[in-house]
């Protein structure tokens, strides 16, 4: 069963892997509406690494959640790999998310009783596959995140940066097209953060994955091709470090746009 059979044919032929048009999200949890996204336009072609910056509350996590199909937009158009997520059934959206999107959070979300190897394989184990059946794939991922020597360690015997690399390997397990990362280095020191940013850069450049990463750090955003700056739920501008690592360019540009 292919993804296309399950979720329907793509409704758009645009090259953009993520295409948002006038995206709005209004939360109305306590009868007090909060506009978290206020008309966001965004087009991300395949294989690009895009950083999303903005002050606390500017809508960064909401944007990732909407793109990841975790919460519906209130209005606007969103296409991911040409599929209109809002037109999918809940089941189709869940399948699409599991097969095409990999998600990485600030808090690693590893199971403490499982080894690195088992944590990486977990989505397949949950699907009823045995660890032996996916051993080659897991070994390849351990290699890619430079953790071969730590494969049998549990999370409490790994550094924060190593735990995040396990989480990234797990996100890559299904060979998704898109990786969504919400402040993946929020709990890490500068050396470990730099390792994560370099790894994400490598995954975009060498593996052709499209990466959307929320970060507060100009150093991290400078690894990206493009930086999108959000303010009060709107895109107020973009910077183009083009993977140069030029943190000063990002820091200065960000201050001008968001300040
Ligand atoms: N589930 C929710 N219900 C109601 N309001 C919410 C909900 N989630 C977020 N918000 C509000 O939406 C706005 C945007 O929140 P969001 O979490 O997207 O910001 P953010 O840019 O990720 O901030 P941070 O840098 O602090 O993580 C905020 O005003 C927030 O209070
Ligand atoms: Mg957030």
What's the rounded Cα separation, in Å, for the pair 58 and 43? 19
End-to-end CA separation in angstroms for the chain: 49
- pLDDT of residue 13 exceeding 60, the answer is no
The per-residue pLDDT for range 29-46, each reduced to its tens digit, is 888 999 999 999 999 999
**Residue 132: predicted pLDDT:** 93
What's the rounded Cα separation, in Å, for the pair 140 and 117? 11
What's the rounded Cα separation, in Å, for the pair 242 and 85? 29
- pLDDT of residue 169 exceeding 50, the answer is yes
- pLDDT of residue 14 exceeding 70, the answer is no
For the Cβ of 163 lying below 6 angstroms from any atom of ligand 1, the answer is no
What's the rounded Cα separation, in Å, for the pair 66 and 84? 12
- pLDDT of residue 1 exceeding 50, the answer is no
Mean pLDDT of the 217-240 span: 98
The per-residue pLDDT for range 100-142, each reduced to its tens digit, is 999 999 999 999 999 999 999 999 998 889 999 999 999 999 9
What's the rounded Cα separation, in Å, for the pair 161 and 184? 10
Q: How many CB atoms lie within 10 A of CB 152?
A: 10
Q: Tell how strand 226-231 and strand 234-239 pair up.
A: antiparallel
Strand partners, 18: 44, 80
Q: What is the pTM of this model?
A: 0.94
The per-residue pLDDT for range 45-89, each reduced to its tens digit, is 999 999 999 999 999 999 999 999 999 999 999 999 999 988 888
Taking the domains of the chain in order of start, what are their residue ranges? 3-258
SS3 of 41-100: EEEEECCCEEEEEECCCCCHHHHHHHHCCCCCCCEEEEEECCEEHHHCCHHHHHHHHHHH
Ligand 1 midpoint to CA 117 (Å): 34
Ligand 2 midpoint to CA 17 (Å): 22
CATH code given to domain 3-258: 3.40.50.300
Mean pLDDT of the chain: 93
What's the rounded Cα separation, in Å, for the pair 94 and 240? 33
For the Cβ of 30 lying below 6 angstroms from any atom of ligand 1, the answer is no
- pLDDT of residue 205 exceeding 80, the answer is yes
């Amino acid at each position: 069963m292919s993804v296309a059979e399950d979720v329907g044919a793509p409704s758009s032929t645009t090259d953009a892997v993520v295409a948002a048009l006038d995206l709005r999200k209004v939360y109305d949890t306590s009868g007090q509406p909060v506009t978290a996204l206020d008309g966001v336009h965004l087009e991300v072609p395949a294989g690009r690494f895009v950083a999303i910056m903005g002050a606390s509350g500017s809508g960064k996590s909401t944007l990732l959640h909407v793109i990841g199909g975790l919460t519906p937009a209130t209005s606007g158009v969103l296409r991911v790999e040409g599929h209109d997520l809002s037109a999918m059934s809940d089941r189709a959206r869940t399948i699409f998310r599991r097969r095409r999107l990999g998600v990485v959070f600030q808090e690693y979300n590893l199971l403490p009783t499982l080894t690195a190897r088992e944590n990486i394989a977990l989505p397949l184990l949950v699907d009823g596959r045995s660890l032996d059946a996916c051993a080659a794939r897991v070994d390849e991922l351990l290699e890619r995140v430079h953790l071969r020597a730590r494969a049998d360690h549990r999370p409490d015997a790994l550094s924060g940066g190593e735990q995040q690399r396990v989480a990234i390997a797990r996100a890559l397990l299904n060979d998704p097209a898109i990786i969504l990362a919400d402040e993946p280095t929020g709990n890490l020191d500068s050396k470990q953060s730099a390792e994560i940013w370099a790894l994400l850069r490598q995954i975009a450049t060498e593996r052709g994955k499209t990466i959307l990463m929320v970060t507060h750090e100009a150093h991290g955003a400078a690894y990206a091709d493009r930086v999108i700056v959000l303010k009060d739920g709107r895109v107020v501008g973009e910077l183009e470090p083009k993977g140069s690592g030029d943190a000063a360019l990002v820091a200065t540009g960000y201050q001008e746009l968001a300040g």
